[in-house]
Every structure is written in structure tokens, then in C-alpha cells.
């Protein structure tokens, strides 16, 4: 990618941040450390030792840790501000409303951790026990882990480059005492970079059920979301479906619907048709969603009568089907569920 004649820093993801030579074969290549281009490179001995090519031993440790977690769901979006954390929190609350289920949320947005705020856990601290870090509990059966719990103040900035963020994510997956879980929901930052690659890499031994992709209707969002879908395809991550947030706004005064973010190119519906993906639902914009997030309350519990609540519940009900049955019958379940409910759009 990019003009071939211009040097681009070659990097594999292991040795950072050292500058490789222009024609470096890459630290995970067969010729790493042994090609003519490696002569004189400060990384030569390390590459030749084969160290960068060895699988990360943490992957096996995480696989063992995750053996007690039945379902792992990633919440992704290429675009920021579309409602990933909001959806993750609502999904977690809804799944945990069944008291027999153990649910947890892992917030891997290291620079902008929103989950503590949204779930009303600001100021909580993480404790360390003999079996690892103890997550923070919202309910008896709903646990949360976020870098937000490790900050001295909510305003403290986490100014870390990729490798340090990767190390934190590794610790979250390996060292947190999750216990027996039915669902682990992983909330991610926008993009297709370190955090996303690391989560997929570290959970490669344990397996991920799939990803829910969040978008808003406008093309500027969909463009980034298509990139995220390409990412999922490249790393062979199954896509459970797509949720379109902020899909229309109902004026509380006159009850007319306006499109604040117009779907100029057909919105998520058209995108899902083009890419043969399930559209799990289209959630209308309700200012009370943001208000409850600010107050750390569950929107589904506080405003159950909102059209947005009803749509969320429909989506989540579909999700439960999605992750316990095979993808082959996925669409059948969605159609069955949606046809039996009155949806307000």
C-alpha cells in the first residue's frame, strides 16, 4: 500500500519501536535476521534467534483462563461515538437480568474508558487477591473490568503507545479472576488497530463467538464500519450482526420523526443487504439514552417504554439465539423473532 518507492516503516507487531532498514524482510519472516538486508541492523540477533516468530505464551494462559467463559462477544465499530459502550452496557444489563446467568464486561478502550461511567461505577477500585484481580461488580452476577478503575482520577489521561496498551489487555484477559461466566462482552475503541488485533490474538486460543458491529445511518459512519467488517473477515472473526443506532429521532413535543443522521446511502439496511449480514435492529435516538449513560443508570430499566428500549430488547433477545445456535440457522431465528413483535420505526 502506498507508493512503493517511498520507504514505509516495516513492522510486524513484535519488536517495537525500533527502526528497521528500508528493505527489512519483517521480523516474523522466514528470512528474519538472515537476509542481506539484515546486516548491521540492531535487531539482527534477536530476529535471527527466532524470538519474534514464537507464539506468545500468554495465549495459552488466556485459553486456560477463558475455559470457564461460555460465550465471548466483541462489540466493534470502525467509527467512534456510534454507541458501542452504550450497547455493551445495555446488553450486559439485559443478559444479567436473568439471575441465573453470570455476565461480565471487559472495557479494552484504554484511552477513553467509558464503561465505568455508563455503568455507574466511577470511583470504584480494583482489588487484588490470590487468584488475580477482582473485577468490580454492578450486580451479584454482573462484573466489569476497565482501565478506568486503575486511574487516580477520572480525568487522568492514559497516554500510552500500542505496546503498552497491548500489555494491559493481556493482563485483563490473563490476570482478572473472572470466575465462571456465561457471557463476556468486550467493549472496544473505534478502529482496527492495536486493541482489536490484540484481543483477537490473545483470544485466538480460547475462541470468540462473534462480533456485533455498531453503526449510525450516515455514510461517513458506514464507510468506517465497512472497514471494520473487512477486519473481521481478515481475522476470521464471525459477525453476529449489525446494530444501527441513532436511527431517527422522535420529537417529544410533536412526535414527528426526523433524521438527524440521514441514511443518504441506504443506512445499515442497505449495507447489510450488500454484505449479506444480519441487521439486528435500528435503534432510534432518544436523548434519555445519553442522560442515563451520564448518570450511570440502565436505560432499559429506567425508560422501558421508550421505542429505543423496545428495539434494544428485541436485538438482545435475538443475540441470545445467535450465540447458542449455529450461524446456519441464525437468519431463521432473526426472522422468527422479528415477525412476532411490533417494531416501531
The nearer residue to a second copy, 13 or 61, going by C-beta atoms, is: 13
How many residues of this chain interact with a second copy, rule: CB under 8 A? 83
Contact 263, 246 (CB under 8 A): no
Q: Which of residues 225-244 bind a second copy (CB under 8 A)?
A: 226-228, 230-231, 234
Q: Which of 28, 31, 101, 160 binds a second copy (CB under 8 A)?
A: 160
Contacts 24+ apart (CB under 8 A), 50-53: 51/14, 52/12, 52/14, 52/15, 52/27, 52/28, 53/27, 53/28
Q: Which of residues 174-203 bind a second copy (CB under 8 A)?
A: 189-194, 196-197
Q: Which of residues 315-334 bind a second copy (CB under 8 A)?
A: none
The nearer residue to a second copy, 303 or 338, going by C-beta atoms, is: 303
Q: Which of residues 273-292 bind a second copy (CB under 8 A)?
A: 287, 290-291
Q: Which of residues 30-59 bind a second copy (CB under 8 A)?
A: 42-43, 45-46, 49, 51-52, 56
Cell of 309: 428500549
Q: Which of residues 101-130 bind a second copy (CB under 8 A)?
A: 110-112, 114, 117-118
Contact 202, 57 (CB under 8 A): no
Q: Which of 71, 165, 174, 297 binds a second copy (CB under 8 A)?
A: 165
Q: How near is the Cβ of 258 to a second copy at its closest, in Å?
A: 6
Supply φ then ψ for residue 263, to 5 degrees. Answer: -80, 70
Instruction: Return the H-helix or E-strand segment holding 288.
Output: helix 287-295
How many other C-beta atoms are found inside a 10 Å radius of the C-beta of residue 151? 14
Supply φ then ψ for residue 9, to 5 degrees. Answer: -60, 120
The nearer residue to a second copy, 17 or 340, going by C-beta atoms, is: 17
Q: Which of 29, 134, 204, 223 binds a second copy (CB under 8 A)?
A: 223
d(CA 280, CA 282): 7
d(CA 104, CA 102): 7
Q: How near is the Cβ of 185 to a second copy at its closest, in Å?
A: 18
Our finding on whether 132 is near a second copy (CB under 8 A) is: no
Q: How near is the Cβ of 82 to a second copy at its closest, in Å?
A: 6
The nearer residue to a second copy, 203 or 323, going by C-beta atoms, is: 203
Cell of 307: 421505542
Looking from the CA of 137 toward its CB, the CA atoms found within 13 Å total 10
Alpha helices in 6-98 (DSSP H): 44-48, 58-65, 84-96
Q: How near is the Cβ of 325 to a second copy at its closest, in Å?
A: 28
Tell me: is residue 85 an annotated ligand-binding position.
Answer: yes
- Computed on alpha carbons and rounded to an integer, the radius of gyration of the chain in Å comes to 22
Supply φ then ψ for residue 117, to 5 degrees. Answer: -65, -50
Q: How near is the Cβ of 154 to a second copy at its closest, in Å?
A: 6
d(CA 312, CA 104): 18
**Residues annotated in a binding site:** 24, 38, 41, 47, 78-85, 251, 254
**Residues annotated in a binding site for [4Fe-4S] cluster:** 24, 38, 41, 47, 251, 254
Amino acid at each position: 500500500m502506498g507508493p512503493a518507492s517511498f520507504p514505509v516503516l516495516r513492522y510486524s507487531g513484535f519488536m517495537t519501536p525500533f527502526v528497521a532498514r528500508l528493505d527489512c524482510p519483517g521480523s516474523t519472516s522466514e528470512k528474519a535476521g538472515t537476509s542481506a538486508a539484515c546486516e548491521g541492523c540492531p535487531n539482527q540477533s534477536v530476529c535471527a534467534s527466532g524470538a519474534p516468530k514464537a507464539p506468545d505464551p500468554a495465549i495459552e494462559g488466556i485459553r486456560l483462563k477463558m475455559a470457564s467463559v461460555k460465550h465471548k462477544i466483541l462489540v466493534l465499530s470502525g467509527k467512534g461515538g456510534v454507541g458501542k459502550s452504550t450497547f455493551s452496557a445495555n446488553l450486559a444489563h439485559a443478559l444479567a437480568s436473568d439471575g441465573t446467568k453470570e455476565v461480565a464486561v471487559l472495557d479494552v478502550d484504554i484511552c477513553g474508558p467509558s464503561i465505568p461511567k455508563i455503568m455507574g461505577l466511577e470511583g470504584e477500585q480494583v482489588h487484588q487477591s490470590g487468584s488475580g484481580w477482582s473485577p468490580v461488580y454492578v450486580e451479584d452476577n454482573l462484573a466489569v473490568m476497565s482501565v478506568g478503575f486503575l486511574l487516580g482520577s477520572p480525568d487522568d489521561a492514559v497516554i500510552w503507545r500500542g505496546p503498552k496498551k497491548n500489555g494491559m489487555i493481556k493482563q485483563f484477559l490473563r490476570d482478572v479472576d473472572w470466575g465462571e461466566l456465561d457471557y463476556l462482552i468486550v467493549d472496544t475503541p473505534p478502529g482496527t488497530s492495536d486493541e482489536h488485533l490484540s484481543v483477537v490474538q490473545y483470544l485466538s486460543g480460547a475462541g470468540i463467538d462473534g462480533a456485533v458491529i455498531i453503526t449510525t445511518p450516515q455514510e461517513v459512519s458506514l464507510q468506517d464500519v465497512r472497514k471494520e467488517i473487512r477486519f473481521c473477515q481478515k481475522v476470521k472473526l464471525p459477525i453476529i450482526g449489525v446494530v444501527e443506532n441513532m436511527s431517527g429521532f422522535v420529537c417529544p413535543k410533536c412526535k414527528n420523526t426526523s433524521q438527524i443522521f440521514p441514511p443518504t446511502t441506504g443506512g445499515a439496511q442497505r449495507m447489510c443487504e450488500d454484505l449479506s449480514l444480519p441487521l439486528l435492529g435500528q435503534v432510534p435516538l432518544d436523548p434519555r439514552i445519553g442522560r442515563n449513560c451520564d448518570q450511570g443508570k440502565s436505560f432499559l430499566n429506567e425508560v422501558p417504554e421508550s421505542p429505543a428500549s423496545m428495539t434494544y430488547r428485541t436485538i438482545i433477545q435475538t443475540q441470545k439465539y445467535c450465540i447458542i445456535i449455529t450461524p446456519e440457522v441464525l437468519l431463521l431465528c432473526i426472522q422468527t423473532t422479528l415477525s412476532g413483535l411490533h417494531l416501531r420505526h
